[in-house]
Amino acid sequence: MSAPVNIIVGSHVWVEDSAQAWIDGEVFKINGEEVHVRTTDGKTVVTNMSKVFPKDNEAPPGGVDDMTKLSYLHEPGVLHNLATRYELNEIYTYTGNILIAINPFQRLPHLYDTHMMEQYKGAVFGELSPHVFAVADVAYREMINEGKSNSILVSGESGAGKTETTKMLMRYLAYLGGRSGVEGRTVEQQVLESNPVLEAFGNAKTVRNNNSSRFGKFVEIQFDQKGRISGAAIRTYLLERSRVCQISDPERNYHCFYLLCAAPAEVKEKYKLGSPSSFHYLNQSKCYELDGIDDAEEYLATRRAMDIVGISEEEQEAIFRVVAAILHLGNIEFSKGEEIDSSVIKDEKSRFHLNMTAELLKCDAKSLEDALIKRVMVTPEEVITRTLDPIAAVGSRDALAKTIYSRLFDWLVEKINNSIGQDPNSKSIIGVLDIYGFESFKFNSFEQFCINFTNEKLQQHFNQHVFKMEQEEYTKEEIDWSYIEFVDNQDVLDLIEKKPGGIIALLDEACMFPKSTHETFAQKLYQTFKNNKRFIKPKLSRTSFAICHYAGEVLYQADMFLDKNKDYVVAEHQALLTASKCLFVVGLFPPSQEESSKSSKFSSIGSRFKSQLQSLMETLSSTEPHYIRCVKPNNVLKPAILENVNIIQQLRCGGVLEAIRISCAGYPTRRSFYEFLNRFGVLAPEVLEGSYDDKAACQRILDKMGLKGYQIGKTKVFLRAGQMAELDARRAVVLGNAARTIQRQIRTYIARKEFIELRQAAIYLQSNLRGISARKLFEQLRREAAGVKIEKNFRGYTARKSYLTVRSSAITLQTGLRAMKARDEFRFRKQTKATILIQARVRQHIAHSYFRRLQKAAIVTQCGWRRRVARRELRKLKMAARETGALQELKNKLEKRVEELTWRLQIEKRLRADLEEEKAQEIAKLKDGLHAMQIQVEEANAKALKEREAARKAIEEAPPVIKETPVIVQDTEKLNSLMAEVNSLKESLVTEREAKEEARKAHADAEARNAELVKKVEDSSRKVDQLHELVQRLEEKISNSESENQVLRQQALAVSPKALSARPRTVIIQRTPENGNVVNGESKPATDMTLAVSNVREPESEGKPQKSLNEKQQENQDLLIKCISQDLGFSGGKPIAACMIYKCLLHWRSFEVERTTVFDRIIQTISSAVEAQDNADILAYWLSNTSTLLLLLQRTLKASGAASLTPQRRRTASASLFGRMSQGLRASPQSAGLPFLNGRGLSRLDDLRQVEAKYPALLFKQQLTAFLEKIYGNIRDNLKKEISPLLGLCIQAPRTSRQGLVKGRSHANAVAQQALIAHWQKIVNSLNNSLKMMKANYVPPFLVCKVFTQIFSFINVQLFNSLLLRRECCSFSNGEYVKTGLAELEQWCNEATEEYAGSAWEELKHIRQAVGFLVIHQKPKKTLNEITKELCPVLSIQQLYRISTMYWDDKYGTHSVSTDVIAKMRVMMTEDSGNSVSSSFLLDDDSSIPFSVDDISKSMQQVDVSDVDPPPLIRENSGFGFLLARSE
């Protein structure tokens, strides 16, 4: 990053900050090189001019997806862009063709679903939003198109998401290429399942990460010639072997040691293991456990992972035995022996661990001891055995431990590769490299030195690739770049690996000398590299040194370099383990001639590391590289937290800032001519007004500004570092002057407006004051008048109030008296009415009860008799039905008996009517008697009342003393007589009630018995009807058995009865409306029952063998198949082929046979016609035929064994049992004996009638349904393919020409709109052509409507997803263009009518609402409720959030919705983050079949196949004469 220029007062800049890395602010003072900045958080910062970088205030609010598009490509600009995008959940960002992926620490399933894969499949790199799928797609396309292997380098520290990124890469590659074998687990699944095993044996805790990979992993995904994944291999590099023996606090050794120490008790007892603190290789650090990790559970999980990758139980046992042996081996200590420079086992504890190591490795303990403390030297004269001192013995012990662990890790990798399976014939691979990143800790040792050396190598490869991409860009634009210097780190690599003077070479040299120490090694480095600018000697240390890496300066402590670098290959160790009794251990150490020939050979880890690294670089150099840099946003591993300092450090270690430095060395700022003129056209308005082309206009502006060193390519302007800031500064001056001019005019306008408003206010104030005084005078006069009026009204009120009080009291008194009188009268009338009602109900109940008893008794009697007769007849019929030889005689007898039964039932019906009449007469008599009795009771009551009244009057008129006693006696006698008469009437009434109750009970019993009898009679009538049908079938069997019995039996055993032409003439015809049966309640006279029976053609030879019949059937089938394979066209809008197939199958009774081949041949014919033709017209023709045929089958076939009667046998509910029986018996005898003939037996054969379908027919229907769906899908998909390229042209609006920047945009917009409408017109033309084609082939409107509904849904999905994935599409102008195109589709829907378009227009609701949001004005004033409820109710909150953040106004420069609305949307998204469905902002294209067979049956009209004329080829054949029945 070069020092900025043109920083002036008022400039917005970035300054360094200790907490936030970089913070923005505004310059308010400049003193020479000293800059005073007021930051956004209110602080004042004083810094040097060289440490200040300009800020782009015109950067998009949502950031840019490719950081090469940044106006200022520097560290704070990159950090701010990443932070802005991360805040919007945009975790991927490009830097050229490098992908930066920030770990979101939350699930974002919508970014990785199948639909997202489909979007990126074949898309141009950079066209859609940045994504890991885009990198994988580019690698795959280059491999397929160019045949060159590719590699994807995934780097980043632990927790940055490398494993998840690798997983997504393999998922996408599997999606693109598929798999050559689908059995079992997929290749990518097996690779991912191996991760737990490799992590257990290759990962360890470091200072910064709890699960850091201490090896490099290169996954080779192999592809066959067709581009399908055929295998995979895992190559491991640079395992940190020294960690087995030496670790520093607070790090840990490899996980497997701790897992084994946490194993179940029986396992620990078996291996004699204890806590990790008891082993030397583990207790060098005080860290034994990891937060949140249970080693016991991890042990079990590792064992399960081993099972998954195919490691057997025996092998697992051997693996952990070796791991335990390494732990025990580390606890073997040595002390000085009796001899000089000799050593022995220190104590019994060490002896125990020695024996345990030997036991676990299954070797001899004495041999193991000798291998550790003795060396054999072979000379030409003799073999010398010497002992090692304790220090050398410890080195021998550690060398053995490292060798065993290294071989064990290599064996695991080889085993995993064998489990996955490799393709030896694979010519192309895509490699995914996952390797540790740059490390810089407080204390850095030999491990960090090797790791950083690896990253320097990879960084050089990365720099070369970046510079190569820069060169390609410059060459493509045809600009001169020869003077640009390449930023290289070769000097650092020479410092480390150069021979003979590199650090590694000096380290190996020091290790070969026994007397060398770390101090002598450090002094050697100081002397050798004292003049190297990359090597730094610390002032206060004698054993440390620093190297200036690409990511910064790293200080190394050389104290342990010599010990960690030694890696002897000892022949005694090889011989010891080769002689082991454990086959697994022997397999880890195969015999080598080279090693057996020498006693020992020096080998260093540094040299081995260097050679493996060279092998890795050769592999990468042979492939086309692609880079993904994974970044961990925070150390607390939580979402929505971005630690700027942490991000900057990772960008430096990942080489991203180094790539930016390379870009800054050339032309960091690149702008297209349009963007450059749009931004800097104000610097030279006269250039824009001239008739220059864009390139010349840019040239003139740059020349006017006096810039040097820039380049103008074919389509872009290339600016050197700092030139963009200079242009912006001058542009700011021009805009500032323009702003001051605008402010002057605005201030003048405001001052004049204020004066006019002040003058108007004074006039208004005067008029108001005058009005106030006038109103006061008026108010005084009004109050005086009001006082007089109030007095008058009050006096009137008091007088009226007293009058009303008196009047109200009188009315209340009158009301109470009248109410009392009315209640008395009402009570009397109510009692009178109730008495009358009770009497009426009692009399009615008595009469009704008597009637019901009589009726029930009559019905019970009738039902009993009829049941008895019916059972007798039924028994006789059953007995007669069993006699097969007397079927004809049974029929005649049955007819007579049925007629007799009918006659008897009619007689019973008349008897029942007579009985009902008698019962009615009797009920009438009873009613009359009851009425007379009631009259007598009423007369007696009236007479008693009169007598009582007369007695009362007589008592009143008579003298009180003289005639008192005689009158009382006389009245008492009269009363007694009347009471006796009343009592007798009451007794008679009770008697009548009891009789009525008994009659009611008898009537209820009779009704119950009558109901049972009626039910039994109905059952009998139904059985009689069934027997009648049985008679018809038996008659048919009798007539057929005379001539066809043998033929039909052979056909049933062979194939299916296809030759219906051989049937005899006497076949029972099913009853239809034409032959006299009652259908839907209508009957036809006997004159209408005639059938059009042509002259019967007798079979030429009834005695021909079965072969001739089958040959005739085969010929007819062949002719039918030959005919339908041609385009037969349509007759009256009905497809001829479908109607002819249906009529033939129905006539041949193919639906009712158990075995036949005609269905398969028809399906094969349709299949060949559809698959051989890619013509849409052919597909539409067969879509019409299959849909029509399927409709006919749906309405004809029924499953075998259905209990419901066919439509021809259904009777109306109004027809009685006797009516149905009589009509069945009175059917014309001529119609009952008409033959079902070969050619023209029936005039209504083509009427739809249901038949019981067998399995072949039902299977044929299913196959036909499948073909209908396939043809429908082909038509739909072909139309999608046709319009898909046009949609890609429609979504991106053409840009405005530069004249539009000055002269207005109307003309440019008109031209662009015409170009866009041209693409939309092509889509409309495609829709019209498809509609005409389907109309011409009479495709049912229901299917046409479904096709266009799904097509419009596809248009909606494509346009909407493109809008959300491409930021340049989310602009105001683009919304206007798309809205114009949607109007064309709406017009097409109106012209196509609702019959064919249906609800297609409603399918565009997402894109319509999204476009409506883009073109609406004053977005910042819209609330979230208005947006979600009124403007875009269909869009989800994720979709609205993405559109709102991606929107940019390229026409008026307005802003998107307010920040408050954005914040509310973000909160709602966070609350709904658990829903994986709702979190997806993309739409899915529904490619399913949107209808069923029932939908087709309900939507299509009835097809009349009777008037369809067969083709000439069929008409000339006598075997198809039945097709001509209607015409003849």
DSSP output for 1208-1266: GG---TTS-HHHHHHHHHTS-HHHHT----SSS--TTTTS---EEE-HHHHHHHHHHHH
Per-residue confidence band for 959, with pLDDT thresholds at 50, 70 and 90: low
Highest mean pLDDT among 30-44, 367-381, 715-729, 746-760: 746-760
User: What pLDDT does 362 receive?
Assistant: 92
Q: Phi/psi at 36 (nearest 5 deg)?
A: -105, 125
* The pair of three-digit structure tokens given for residue 893, joined into one six-digit string: 């007898």
Rounded to whole angstroms, how far apart are CA atoms 733 and 324?
A: 75
* The pair of three-digit structure tokens given for residue 200, joined into one six-digit string: 């257990």
In the predicted model, what is the mean pLDDT of residues 1379-1389? 89
Taking alpha carbons only, the member of 984, 988, 979 closest to residue 944 is 979
Q: pLDDT tens, 1091-1116? A: 333 333 333 333 444 445 567 778 88
Highest mean pLDDT among 189-203, 1167-1181, 1205-1219, 1224-1238: 189-203
Highest mean pLDDT among 150-164, 953-967, 1051-1065: 150-164
Taking alpha carbons only, the member of 1203, 1215, 1192 closest to residue 1268 is 1192
CB 1368 within 8 A of CB 1346: no
Q: Phi/psi at 838 (nearest 5 deg)?
A: -65, -45
Q: pLDDT tens, 452-490? A: 898 888 888 888 887 777 777 777 888 876 656 666 788
Q: pLDDT tens, 283-293? A: 999 999 988 88
User: What pLDDT does 1064 receive?
Assistant: 35
Residues involved in catalysis = 158-159, 163, 209, 212-213, 437, 439
Q: pLDDT tens, 913-946? A: 888 888 888 888 888 878 887 888 888 888 878 8
User: What pLDDT does 1083 receive?
Assistant: 35
CB 148 within 8 A of CB 623: yes
Q: Phi/psi at 108 (nearest 5 deg)?
A: -125, 70
More confident residue, 1055 or 773: 773
* The pair of three-digit structure tokens given for residue 361, joined into one six-digit string: 């490795």
What b/e readout covers 1222-1257, taking b as 16+ CB neighbours within 10 angstroms? Answer: ebbeebeeebbebbbbbbbbbbbbbbebbbebbebb
User: What pLDDT does 686 receive?
Assistant: 85
Find the helix or strand (DSSP H, E) in which 309 lies: none
CB 1440 within 8 A of CB 1465: yes
Secondary structure letter of residue 1085 according to DSSP:
-
User: What pLDDT does 349 receive?
Assistant: 92
| Strand, helix or coil for residue 91 | coil
User: What pLDDT does 1096 receive?
Assistant: 33
User: What pLDDT does 687 receive?
Assistant: 83
- 127 pLDDT above the threshold of 60: yes
More confident residue, 424 or 1206: 424
User: What pLDDT does 886 receive?
Assistant: 64
Instruction: Name the pTM for this structure.
Output: 0.60
Residues in binding site: 156-163
- Total residues found in the chain within this entry: 1528
CB 1525 within 8 A of CB 1237: no
Rounded to whole angstroms, how far apart are CA atoms 1172 and 347?
A: 87
Secondary structure letter of residue 179 according to DSSP:
B
CB 600 within 8 A of CB 571: yes
- 741 pLDDT above the threshold of 60: yes
Taking alpha carbons only, the member of 649, 653, 698, 646 closest to residue 677 is 698
| Strand, helix or coil for residue 402 | helix
Per-residue confidence band for 1038, with pLDDT thresholds at 50, 70 and 90: low
Taking alpha carbons only, the member of 37, 36, 376, 62 closest to residue 1443 is 62
Least confident of 972-976, 1014-1018, 1021-1025: 972-976
Rounded to whole angstroms, how far apart are CA atoms 1315 and 515?
A: 83
Per-residue confidence band for 1042, with pLDDT thresholds at 50, 70 and 90: very low
Residues in binding site for ATP: 156-163
- A 10 A CB-CB count for 474 gives 19
Rounded to whole angstroms, how far apart are CA atoms 305 and 192?
A: 10
Rounded to the nearest 10 degrees, the angle between the axes of helix 1106-1124 and helix 964-1053 is 100
Rounded to whole angstroms, how far apart are CA atoms 139 and 143?
A: 6
* The pair of three-digit structure tokens given for residue 74, joined into one six-digit string: 């520097």
User: What pLDDT does 834 receive?
Assistant: 93
User: What pLDDT does 1055 receive?
Assistant: 38
Handedness of CA 936, 937, 942, 947 (dihedral sign): positive
Rounded to whole angstroms, how far apart are CA atoms 1407 and 1434?
A: 10
Rounded to whole angstroms, how far apart are CA atoms 214 and 235?
A: 14
User: What pLDDT does 572 receive?
Assistant: 81
- A 10 A CB-CB count for 148 gives 12
Q: State what percent of residues in the chain have pLDDT above 90.
A: 24
- The residues with which 631 forms a beta bridge, in sequence order, are 102
CB 240 within 8 A of CB 406: no
- Compute CA 163 distance to the chain's CA centroid, rounded to the nearest angstrom: 24
| Strand, helix or coil for residue 48 | strand
* The pair of three-digit structure tokens given for residue 823, joined into one six-digit string: 């209640």
DSSP output for 850-912: HHHHHHHHHHHHHHHHHHHHHHHHHHHHHHHHT-GGGHHHHHHHHHHHHHHHHHHHHHHHHHH
